Amino acid sequence: MKRIGLTILAVCLPLFLCRPASAQHSGPYVGAFVGGSSLITAKASDDLGNFSLKFDPALTGSAVLGWDFEPGNPVGEGRVELEYARRSNTLDQVTFVEGGFKGGGKVTADSLLVNFFGVFHDVGRWAPYVGVGAGVARMEASDLQVTGQPLASGSSVVLAYQLGAGLDVALTDHLNLDLGYRFFGSTKPKFSEVNGRKFEMDYFSHTAVFGLRVGF
């Protein structure tokens, strides 16, 4: 019985995924995403000079509220959405001129962006897309350390942006699976060191996401 069920699944699943989609959704939708975020090694500086910060990859999550454009509208095929996302990465290593040292603590980015995506619909259920987003982010440095000694803490609100690409898979007329990539960046956040000095750092991340969007 188990073998028969697996055979039926193997035959029917490709047919389901490859058959033409019935109707393209237009109107409001909500969605939720999870994924993995990897920060590019950040260049940082303070009054004493330059150093770099290396972070561990971490899970990320986001929620969106958006609108699918109607097919054939003058704006074009695609969607616009408001996205809240949270990225929180642990500091792994701090590198000075003298060498690398063990890091600690986290940098967390809570972002609110408006995204515009162009979607290339075809006769099938698969639709690639590309897009851009812009907004703001609140960056928080939580107990950053070097070899167990305090380095910096604090928060900073900065301008943020992202570039995105991916693939929509229409599961039903109102349910889409979204497999995507996001490059997220911001202007340099500034934090306070324990001695009162200020330091600033780059913030750029690569993020792979997958999620579901539900239209209504």
Residue extents of the structural domains in the chain:
2-215
Sign of CA dihedral 27, 117, 209, 138: negative
Of the candidates 129, 134, 115, the one whose C-alpha atom is nearest the C-alpha of residue 180 is 129
Beta-bridge partners for 192: 153, 198
Mean pLDDT of the chain: 89
Per-residue confidence (pLDDT) for residue 76, from 0 to 100: 73
Per-residue confidence (pLDDT) for residue 195, from 0 to 100: 83
Per-residue confidence (pLDDT) for residue 150, from 0 to 100: 92
Per-residue confidence (pLDDT) for residue 96, from 0 to 100: 94
If you ran DSSP here, which 8-state letter would residue 22 be given? S
Q: Checking phi first, is residue 196 left (phi over 0); if not, alpha (psi -120 to 50) or beta?
A: left
Q: What does the pLDDT look like over 92-137, one tens digit per residue? A: 999 999 999 999 999 999 999 999 999 998 767 889 999 999 999 9
Beta-strand runs (E) in the chain: 27-39, 42-46, 49-55, 58-68, 78-96, 99-119, 126-146, 149-170, 175-186, 190-193, 198-201, 204-215
The pLDDT confidence band at residue 182, using thresholds 50, 70 and 90, is: very high
Contact predicate 45/67, CB 8 Å: no
Q: What is the mean pLDDT of residues 81-86?
A: 98
Of the candidates 209, 134, 126, the one whose C-alpha atom is nearest the C-alpha of residue 168 is 126
Instruction: Report the predicted TM-score, pTM, of the whole model to 2 decimal places.
Output: 0.86
End-to-end CA distance of the chain: 38
φ and ψ at 106, to 5 degrees? -135, 155
CATH value of 2-215 in 3.40.50.10310, 2.40.160.20, 3.40.50.12780, 3.40.50.970: 2.40.160.20
Q: What does the pLDDT look like over 155-180, one tens digit per residue? A: 999 999 999 999 999 999 899 999 99
In this structure, the dihedral spanned by the alpha carbons of residues 29, 82, 168 and 177, taken in order and rounded to 10 degrees, is: -60
Q: What does the pLDDT look like over 25-79, one tens digit per residue? A: 889 999 999 999 999 999 999 888 899 999 999 999 999 999 999 887 776 789 9
Q: Tokens representing 152?
A: 């910096």
Per-residue confidence (pLDDT) for residue 123, from 0 to 100: 63
Beta-bridge partners for 29: 66, 215
